Amino acid sequence: MSANQGMNRRQFIVSSALAGGGLLLACQLPFGRRDLLAATGSAFAPNAFLRIAADGRVTVIVNKSEMGQGVYTSLPMLVAEELCCDWSMVAFQASPVAPQYNRVSAPIMVTGGSSSVRTEWERLSLAGAAAREMLIAAAARQWQVAPSQCRAENGAILGPGGKKLGFGALAAKAAALPVPKKPKLKGGAGTLLGKPLHRLDSPAKINGAAIFGIDVSVPGMLTCVIARPPVFGAKVKAFDPAGALALSGVRQVVAVDAGVAVVADGYWPALKGRAALTIEWDEGDGAALSTPSMRAEYARLSETPGLVARREGDAAATLASASRRFDAQYEVPYLAHATMEPLNCFVDLKADSCLIRTGSQFQTVDRDAAARAAGLKPEQVTLETTFLGGGFGRRANPDSDFVVQAVQVAAAVRRPVKVIWSREDDMRGGYYRPMWHDRISACLDGRGMPLAWLHRIVGQSIVAGTAFEKGMVKDGIDRTSVEGAADTPYRIPNLQVELHTTKSRVPVLWWRSVGYSHTGFVMESFLDELAHAAGQDPYHYRRALLKEHPRILKVLDLAAGKSGWGAPLAKGRGRGIAVQECFGSYVAQVAEVSVDVKGEVTVHRVVCALDCGKVVNPDTVKAQMESGIAFGLSAALYGAITLKKGRVEQGNFDSYPLVAMNAMPKVEVHIVASVDPPGGVGEPGVPPIAPAVANALFAVSGIRVRSLPLTPENVLAARPGKA
């Protein structure tokens, strides 16, 4: 919430209820019945997403979580464009958890899958259009002219003879009018959309007024850290709290499902108290987990047929008769989400109510899970969404782990409490992008083009055993496991994609760009291998295979052209290219790379071309591409979660580094002008960067790395002639 709004989320919800029984929660979208709208004095609230105050201030109620991606600006822009308001008078408000704010065509509030603008474009545009028509109608009545003689412009209604009334002056009269059932969009050129506008949430983040979950504090609140199992699936056999309770500031030590909770006056005494605990763990079979043994098992599975996710022609028979075939195995490791703000959750639990303040991507799921844990009804639980210091999927957990744990602690201590995870807590006991092993065989036709492609994927399902399994798993195939491979746009006459779904105690979850984060690397790297084997240019090779996909070709051509593809490079540098279609958008990237004798890879430049359909705010689009490249580059160069004796070996950024400023390449983003429906921008920038860098590494050195990350050890081990 921006600092100058003057009312926090909870106060707004309470005041709305006092004013007439839940104004914003009552209306049915898109615009609902007039008799369901509660009176708000001089405020004008034609639907659940918009209110206009008597001073002309426009507040847009945003039903998506703000975790850095810019929805607190882009979504209000959709409303403001159709409303024709003064952008300087626009503010935002985080929505409560209610059905009116569910994702379009889904029964929950959720932020993820690069869906915010894609799902809300029409609904929020119509919300603004309805309010505009009502304001025009109110002015026309007052002036006794036809509505067609009036227009909205920059926060006012203009009428014949120079008449003018501001939105605030019309708010009360507009509120008394019927809500249009089918408002008309303006059409034509926009005044806001497509323009670079400053973010509405920036001032509060700059001056420190913005409240993230970890900032939440109330009088009498206690702080808690939890001693979690050292290996996945372990249970507490016994514990001695004496050492912790002897420390100043430690109030209680209680057992919860997640482990042993130490509750104190602040984070530091809670952390010291946890270190002083004596705990005996039953580690169970999780203690036997190790990365080398899992890799070996995945490789063995990849030698056997799996469930068929896609079959075109007869890849196996074609390969069997081929005079020359190409075989490769690719591996990618478990990855942590590594959000800048560690997980946290504040809970104030009472006998008949529960207040939660946290950075959630999964509001409905988290609220309902909290209600079950507290023994309350969902309507007795209020979840207020704070700013999120990064999400990447970690805060959209079907298990609602960080919320449920906090509710359990609050129930035990009977005080308002904030549970904080340390960096190590989440790195070693959180959820991960699955580890994957891919085995591919291919052969080429007389022109050097792929004739057959047999692809076996081995790894865990991120939805198996969750409430989302039914809708996302069909015939044993988790579609997120094979996306980017089974739906490849490349034209290959004989194509077969198979899947082995493994089971493990290691908890897995969606991670920024989901399945494409691994299939993008594998598909684009192996295709690059085939291009070089055929003696063809990797860019032109892709063009030949994508003739039926004009939007992909546009970004491919744009990235290649802007990068100077084919032009000489400085000595010791190479270029690599990759392209990806995902989340309704098309992205191509060209990386410029060098490698030293020690195997250290340096990425000097990345050129990114994007077609995401209609653009709301180009600055946000560019920022998201840059962010995706930095995120994906961190994983490509450094990222790996490994296990030894069931224990995660990484704990913080010293062993799980991110790309630092001095290692960040120059990034250029070029946006294709488009009138197509909007696509996503939060996720699509991630998949192409790893293969673009790996392909550039091969171009400059002849080293083909098939196992991420591109650490010096992996690079040197992949040198030609090495086993």
Q: Percentage of the chain with pLDDT > 90?
A: 93
* Contacts of residue 446, Cβ cutoff 8 Å, sequence gap at least 6: none
Examine the pLDDT at 142 and tell me if it is beyond 90.
Answer: yes
Per-residue pLDDT tens for 385-410? 999 999 999 999 999 999 999 999 99
- Residue 2, pLDDT score: 36
- The more confidently predicted of residues 2 and 627 is 627
Pairing of β 381-385 and β 335-336: unpaired
- Residue 50, pLDDT score: 96
Domain 213-284+343-420 has CATH 3.30.365.10: yes
Among 483, 472, 587, CA closest to 106: 472
Q: Mean pLDDT in the chain?
A: 93
Cβ–Cβ under 8 Å, residues 671 and 621: yes
- Rounded to 5 degrees, what angle do the CA atoms 518, 691, 565 make? 155
- Residue 35, pLDDT score: 28
Examine the pLDDT at 18 and tell me if it is beyond 80.
Answer: no
Q: Which amino acid, residue 74?
A: S
Report DSSP state, residue 35: G
Q: Which two tokens stand for residue 716?
A: 């040197």
- For the chain, the domains span 3-198, 213-284+343-420, 291-334+432-717
- Residue 723, pLDDT score: 56
- Residue 6, pLDDT score: 40
Per-residue pLDDT tens for 174-184? 999 999 999 99
Q: Percentage of the chain with pLDDT > 70?
A: 94
Mean pLDDT of the 444-470 span:
97
Q: Which amino acid, residue 178?
A: P
Per-residue pLDDT tens for 358-380? 999 999 999 999 999 999 999 99
Examine the pLDDT at 487 and tell me if it is beyond 80.
Answer: yes
- Residue 215, pLDDT score: 97
Mean pLDDT of the 323-347 span:
97
Question: How many of the other CB atoms lie within 10 Å of CB of 557?
Answer: 16
Q: Which two tokens stand for residue 322?
A: 């081929």
- Residue 594, pLDDT score: 98
- Residue 187, pLDDT score: 83
Mean pLDDT of the 697-718 span:
98
Confidence of residue 517 (pLDDT cuts 50, 70, 90): very high
Mean pLDDT of the 108-136 span:
97
- Residue 313, pLDDT score: 98
Examine the pLDDT at 502 and tell me if it is beyond 80.
Answer: yes
CA distance 256 to 238: 13
Mean pLDDT of the 530-547 span:
98
- Residue 167, pLDDT score: 97
Q: Do domains 213-284+343-420 and 291-334+432-717 have the same CATH topology?
A: yes
- Residue 262, pLDDT score: 98
Domain spanning 291-334+432-717, CATH architecture = 2-Layer Sandwich (3.30)
Q: Which two tokens stand for residue 248?
A: 């100043």
Where residue 97 falls (left for φ over 0; alpha for ψ -120 to 50; beta otherwise) is beta
Q: Which two tokens stand for residue 4?
A: 């100058």
- Residue 598, pLDDT score: 98
Positive/negative CA dihedral, 709, 712, 714, 719: positive
Per-residue pLDDT tens for 195-224? 999 999 999 999 999 999 999 999 999 999
pTM of the predicted model as reported, rounded to 2 decimal places: 0.93
Q: What are phi and psi of 615, to 5 degrees?
A: -110, 135
Q: Which two tokens stand for residue 600?
A: 């250290």
- Residue 23, pLDDT score: 23
Mean pLDDT of the 232-256 span:
98
Between the CA of residue 111 and those of 103, 106, 128, what are the distances in Å? 8, 12, 22
Per-residue pLDDT tens for 542-553? 999 999 999 999
Cβ–Cβ under 8 Å, residues 623 and 683: no
Mean pLDDT of the 293-300 span:
98
Q: What are phi and psi of 491, to 5 degrees?
A: -85, 110
Q: What's the 3-state SS for 240-276?
A: ECHHHHCCCCEEEEEEECCEEEEEECCHHHHHHHHHC
* Contacts of residue 226, Cβ cutoff 8 Å, sequence gap at least 6: 256, 258, 259, 260, 261, 262, 274, 405, 409, 419, 421, 425
Per-residue pLDDT tens for 32-59? 323 223 334 447 999 999 999 999 999 9
Cβ–Cβ under 8 Å, residues 457 and 482: yes
Mean pLDDT of the 408-433 span:
97
Domain spanning 3-198, CATH architecture = 2-Layer Sandwich (3.30)
Report DSSP state, residue 684: T
Examine the pLDDT at 4 and tell me if it is beyond 70.
Answer: no
Residue identified by tokens 């700059």 is: 206
Tell me the angle at which helices 550-563 and 538-545 cross, rounded to the nearest 10 degrees. Answer: 170
CA distance 297 to 305: 14
Among 534, 553, 555, 558, CA closest to 542: 553
Cα–chain center distance at 610: 18
Per-residue pLDDT tens for 635-681? 999 999 999 999 999 999 999 999 999 999 999 999 999 999 999 99
Among 554, 543, 604, 546, CA closest to 575: 604
